[in-house]
Amino acid sequence: MHLPRLSMGVGDRFGAEGEAQLAAFVALKAAGVEAAPVWNKSNREHQITGTKPEAVRVEADAAARALQWPGAYFVDADHIGLKNVDGFLAASDFFTLDVADFIGQSAGDDAVQAFVGRHAGHAGTIRIPGLSADVESTPARIEAVARKYLRAVQEAGQIYRRIAAAKGAGTFVTEVSMDEADQSQTPAELYFILAALAEEQVPLETVAPKFAGRFNKGVDYVGDVRQFEQEFNADLAVIAHAVRTFRLPKNLKLSVHSGSDKFSIYGPIGKALRATGAGLHLKTAGTTWLEEAAGLALGGGEALKLAAAIYAGAFARYDEMCKPYATVIDIDRNRLPSPDAVRSWSGAQFAAALRHAPRNPQFNPHFRQLLHVGYKVAAEMGGSYREALQTHRAGIGALVTENLFEKHMRPLFLM
């Protein structure tokens, strides 16, 4: 099993939008570009919505049958570790090994010095094709990388071997995630991280490094776009060289996490993909749930009242909703409308404030981010929320498909 060159992670909090999401991939294929959908849902999201990993498999398979999807598709055990991987083994064929918590932990002096010794031949100047400057490496720098990242790589190896023992090697896709580190990895760091992963015999097909700037949930990239472009291109070059040097999987590619709605960096990403022929995995998540909320609002009547009630609940429980996502949201509470004001809005006003259209003067990124993390309120509504989704199925589905195709796929792959 191998991940195609282009793929997108599509989160679906409530498991109702599989066909609408896949319709965007069908449209992309009709436009001449094929990308693989990867339905992703984390353990935390399952706990909040009261679902099990098996539900994601059911949704993905049903969508593929309904639309007669001829290509590859996957179900991602998103951000898992040894503590929770077992619950995902049966349903998933894509595993995001999240080892960020182990960055900076000690792998032990013996392991560090052994790693430095094995890579003594890389000390000096490393010339990497496509990189604007050579990588200067010394034993001290190699040791610094090992002390910061080797324990995390070892953890990735342990998780991978747990999965392989249960499912069999070659039957699933492996991603290693280090995007929640405190700083972006330098080319030298990424190079030796990949060397260590090769030694651990982790056949990763995608790696999610940390990039400079902020990747807040559901809104645009915050940072220096030129710096991001330089880092992204450097990482592409390092990966291509590491694949040859360390005999990593030939289809190893970059993954951009919290990549939904990062409109300002889609241009540089698309440019790099076209110039190099490299692959990409872009992981989106809660934007589908936001399209559901917008679709309900546009449905008017009781559905609009339901959408307003969800916002009111999230507003009242602000700290509870935001705490788990504190590092990936940036909300100015003074710019949040009051629940009473939102109750007076029309469906069009609600949708305009919520849907990500930066040039629309009614768009409110603070309102959007709070609703993004407030899906727990909708989950607690149980059947009433899910019934509303079915009642307004057509309108919501159109928004979901449009969001993925027009706002994500077109600028990334077709422009």
Q: How do residues 182-223 score in pLDDT, each as one tens digit? A: 889 999 999 999 999 999 999 999 999 999 999 999 999 999
Across the range 122-138, mean pLDDT stands at: 84
Predicted confidence at residue 137, as pLDDT, reads 87
Sign of the dihedral defined by the CA atoms of residues 50, 97, 35, 226, in that order = positive
Across the range 363-379, mean pLDDT stands at: 97
Residue 285: pLDDT above 80?
no
Residue 76: pLDDT above 80?
yes
Predicted confidence at residue 364, as pLDDT, reads 98
Residue 247: pLDDT above 80?
yes
Residue 415: pLDDT above 90?
no
What CA–CA distance (Å, rounded) separates 44 from 15?
A: 15
Predicted confidence at residue 47, as pLDDT, reads 95
pLDDT tens digit sequence for 310-342: 999 999 999 999 999 998 999 999 999 999 999
What CA–CA distance (Å, rounded) separates 115 from 154?
A: 12
Whole-model pTM? Answer: 0.95
Predicted confidence at residue 146, as pLDDT, reads 96
Where does residue 88 fall: left (phi above 0), alpha (psi -120 to 50 degrees), or beta otherwise?
Answer: alpha
What CA–CA distance (Å, rounded) separates 158 from 332?
A: 41
Phi and psi for 365 in degrees, rounded to 5?
-65, -25
Q: How far is CA 239 from CA 204, 243, 382, in A?
A: 11, 6, 45
Residues ≥6 apart with Cβ < 8 Å to 65: none
Question: 136 or 266, which is more confident?
Answer: 266
What CA–CA distance (Å, rounded) separates 258 from 75?
A: 17
Pick the CATH number of 6-285 from 3.20.20, 1.10.3470, 2.40.128, 1.25.40: 3.20.20
pLDDT category at 180 given cuts 50, 70, 90 is: confident
Amino acid at 12: D
Closest CA to 285 of 336, 229, 332, 328: 328
Task: Give how far the C-alpha of residue 405 lies from the chain's centroid of Cα atoms, to the nearest Å.
Answer: 17
Per-residue burial over 257-290, b if 16 or more Cβ lie within 10 Å, else e, is: bbbbbbbebbebbbebbeeeebbbbbbbbbbbbb
Predicted confidence at residue 1, as pLDDT, reads 82
Q: Where are the domains of the chain?
A: 6-285, 288-381
Predicted confidence at residue 106, as pLDDT, reads 94
Phi and psi for 409 in degrees, rounded to 5?
-70, -45
